[in-house]
């Protein structure tokens, strides 16, 4: 079976600005794949090329086995995809049911409107005007418009930007539910927690390039790499008294970076128990997605020139 999405060496420029540069990734059917990156990293441009909204300069793109850049496929393709845009694109003066029924009419096999209303948690809001809904409810209606055509691929461009924490959770639950029902999801986000909570795999984009790509849990080997052990030096004990060399961080806080955490912790804690001293604030941390992300997009934020590959 062909992958849901397949992107090879994709390139797109706006005049002198390179928006997408040699981007390559695949998304399997039923998978949630995230494009993570700061604003202007090329997430939306990539998504818009896959939707057939923008043309590309170079590279190959296949969506459900067809090229979205070829006009004869577009109508078929747009019947198979659902789109949730960054902007809230709904007429304020229509009711929830009116907009859903209108858009359902565009598709050959739409999802029943009542089912959509139910799915996005707007039960009893069907006859309410869009402008009377809260921000979170409007966003859920927006997602409802994305799934009313019963799509096999859903494009979610920053789905929870501007939502309160409760509304974000409901949106996440909805995306998980759709994924469990077999919908492929390509999402973009600049929220680390969102990507960690939802995506099976992630590509970190920085200045139009993929800086890292892989399963969310093990991106860049962060599940097996170094850990950081930190604690506060006990009173009257100097760095030289410890059984293991440490690096001072600030005041009495010290840290050890190691990939042999089992042995190091054993030696450290045995020593502390023998000496009957406490290791205040002892923590062991593994590199978070955020650390990875910040390291990978450092150039981007510093505004430095891009290093050659």
Binding site for another protein (CB under 8 A): 2, 14, 51-53, 64-66, 72-73, 75-79, 81, 83, 85-91, 93-94, 98, 102-103, 105-108, 145, 149
Closer residue to another protein, CB minimum distance, 20 or 272:
20
- Pick between residue 18 and residue 98 the one whose CB is nearest to another protein: 98
**SS3 category, 96:** helix
In angstroms, what CA-CA distances link 181 with 78, 152, 170, 177, 185? Answer: 20, 10, 17, 6, 11
Minimal distance, residue 84 CB to another protein, in Å: 9
Instruction: Check if the beta carbon of residue 47 is closer than 8 Å to that of residue 35.
Output: yes
Q: Tell me whether residue 91 or residue 241 sits nearer to another protein (CB atom).
A: 91
Give the closest residue to 103 by CA, choosing from 120, 92, 93, 116: 116
Q: Rounded to 10 degrees, what is the CA torsion of 66, 70, 73, 74?
A: 110
Smallest distance from another protein to CB 86, Å:
8
Provide CB contacts within 8 A for 35, sequence distance 6+: 43, 46, 47, 186, 187, 188, 189, 202, 203, 205
55 three-class SS: coil
Given the complex with another protein, which of 54 and 254 has the nearer CB atom? 54
Cβ closest to another protein, residue 107 vs residue 271: 107
| Matching residue, tokens 């694109």 | 89
From CA 95, how far away is CA 155, in angstroms rounded? 24
Q: Which residues contact 86 (CB under 8 A, 6 or more apart)?
A: 44, 157, 158, 161
Chain-centre distance for alpha carbon 119: 22
In three-state secondary structure terms, 248 is strand
Instruction: Closer to another protein by CB, 14 or 225: give it.
Output: 14
Residues facing residue 27 across a β-bridge: 5
What minimum distance in Å lies between the beta carbon of 161 and another protein? 14
Of 47 and 202, the one with the shorter C-beta distance to another protein is 47
């Amino acid at each position: 079976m062909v992958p849901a999405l397949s992107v090879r060496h994709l390139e797109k420029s706006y005049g002198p600005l390179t928006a997408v540069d040699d981007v390559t990734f695949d998304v399997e059917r039923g998978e949630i794949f995230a494009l993570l990156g700061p604003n202007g990293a090329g997430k939306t441009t990539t998504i818009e090329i896959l939707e057939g909204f923008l043309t590309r300069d170079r590279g190959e793109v296949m969506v459900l086995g067809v090229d979205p850049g070829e006009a004869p496929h577009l109508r078929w393709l747009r019947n198979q995809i659902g789109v949730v845009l960054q902007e809230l694109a709904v007429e304020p003066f229509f009711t929830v049911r009116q907009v859903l029924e209108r858009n359902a009419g565009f598709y050959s096999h739409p999802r029943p409107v009542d089912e959509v209303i139910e799915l996005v948690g707007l039960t009893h809001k069907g006859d309410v005007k869009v402008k009377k809904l809260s921000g979170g409810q409007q966003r859920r209606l927006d997602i409802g418009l994305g799934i009313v055509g019963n799509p096999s691929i859903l494009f979610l461009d920053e789905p929870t930007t501007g939502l309160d924490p409760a509304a974000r959770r409901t949106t996440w639950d909805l995306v998980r539910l759709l994924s469990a029902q077999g919908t492929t999801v390509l999402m973009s986000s600049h929220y680390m927690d969102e990507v960690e909570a939802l995506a099976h795999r992630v590509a970190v984009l920085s200045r139009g390039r993929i800086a890292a790509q892989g399963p969310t849990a093990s991106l860049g080997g962060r599940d097996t790499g170094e850990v950081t052990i930190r604690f506060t030096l006990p009173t009257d004990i100097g760095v030289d008294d410890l059984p293991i060399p440490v690096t001072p961080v600030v005041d009495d806080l010290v840290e050890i970076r190691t990939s042999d955490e089992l042995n190091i912790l054993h030696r450290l804690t045995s020593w502390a128990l023998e000496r009957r001293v406490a290791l205040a604030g002892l923590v062991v941390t593994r590199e978070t997605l955020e650390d990875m992300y910040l390291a990978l997009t450092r150039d981007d934020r510093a505004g430095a020139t891009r290093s050659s590959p």
